[in-house]
Structure 1
């Protein structure tokens, strides 16, 4: 059994890591954004909290899973049910570069997105990145003091590679 909870700011690499782990471990991964939003062709609609919460519960009831996102509070069930909680604490400048580069690729239609890549969305990402750094990160780190044996902080690519290797070794 492998249950992994990944959190980090926009541009930290959550989705990329979740996809990698999902592929190498052959387990499903879930994005918390997709619990919050109902993806529709003409734009996203926010799910009711009850729908969001039920979708999260359905995911964490599975034998194996990876849940990733930036959300806190309502995702606590997944965090506490996880065997491993991974905090992607990439440098602020790296995250900023990544989401700006992602925005440019999405505008050029080289990369697909779950949302409409607009200038207002890019501005929101700058705001979310700063809010995460100043508010969410300190609160999350305090909360994770209660999970010392399952909590891992990742700050660079080498640590991601080591995590993947460790998880593969554990699975065998």
Structure 2
């Protein structure tokens, strides 16, 4: 089974993907691993699409079952993946943005406030994250863009909206997987 989990940054995609992978013993692939080149600090240099796309496709092709976390709908038309289930996560902005603030501080500490360059990177990232719901043009990955993409799909979509626990989300996905298997 091929499961794709997506949502805004801070909605819990990676946390859910890893928890689900552990519970059902599927490999988990994070789109950020392919989108960004390794760097310190991370998430600075984008991997060229001509490298990124084939790399992702080749890694997924090595597995019968997999979970892909992250939004790849805008990567290009040559990354068309055959999904069995798409899971869309949505959190209210105030919860999601606080999670991002907390996560960024946990990852990097005071440097995101004290170092001028890192502070600027943090502020740009948070402005981009705010734009997910506001959709004023800072980001391609917005709530309206995700919802429009979901409407184009001809596969089951499980929408998990609200501040559910990780286990509640995992249980909902496993239930959907069981329903899909029963339909076959």
Shorter-chain TM-score range: 0.7 to 0.9
1:103 aligns with 2:112: no
1:45 to partner: Cα distance: 3.5
TM-score, normalised relative to structure 1 = 0.79
Contact 1:8 1:69 in 2 (8 A): yes
1:155 aligns with 2:161: yes
Contact 2:84 2:156 in 1 (8 A): yes
Aligned residues: 163
How has the CA–CA distance of structure 1 residues 34 and 6 changed in structure 2, closer, same or farther, with 3 Å as cutoff?
same
| Partner SS, residue 38 of structure 1 | coil
Moved more, 139-148 or 74-83: 74-83
Q: Larger Cα Rg: Structure 1 or Structure 2?
A: 2
How has the CA–CA distance of structure 1 residues 42 and 166 changed in structure 2, closer, same or farther, with 3 Å as cutoff?
closer
Where does the alignment leave 5 or more consecutive residues of structure 1 unmatched?
A: 110-117
How has the CA–CA distance of structure 1 residues 83 and 128 changed in structure 2, closer, same or farther, with 3 Å as cutoff?
same
Where does the alignment leave 5 or more consecutive residues of structure 2 unmatched?
A: 111-117, 136-141
How has the CA–CA distance of structure 1 residues 66 and 141 changed in structure 2, closer, same or farther, with 3 Å as cutoff?
same
Aligned to 1:83: 84
Q: Which portions of structure 1, spanning 4 or more consecutive aligned residues, are displaced by more than 3 angstroms?
A: 40-45, 75-80, 167-171
CA distance in 2, matches of 1:76, 1:27: 26
Q: Deviations over 1:114-144 (max 9, x none)?
A: xxxx433332332222222244221221221
TM-score, normalised relative to structure 2 = 0.74
Name the Cα RMSD after superposition. Answer: 2.9
Aligned to 1:112: none
1:81 to partner: Cα distance: 1.1
| Partner SS, residue 96 of structure 1 | helix
1:31 to partner: Cα distance: 1.2
1:148 to partner: Cα distance: 5.7
Contact 1:25 1:168 in 2 (8 A): no
Moved more, 49-58 or 59-68: 59-68
Aligned to 1:93: 94
Correspondences of 1:1-172 after superposition (within 5 Å): 2-41=1-40, 44-61=44-61, 62-74=63-75, 80-108=81-109, 118-135=118-135, 136-147=142-153, 149-156=155-162, 157=164, 160-166=169-175, 169=178
How has the CA–CA distance of structure 1 residues 127 and 167 changed in structure 2, closer, same or farther, with 3 Å as cutoff?
same
CA distance in 2, matches of 1:41, 1:101: 20
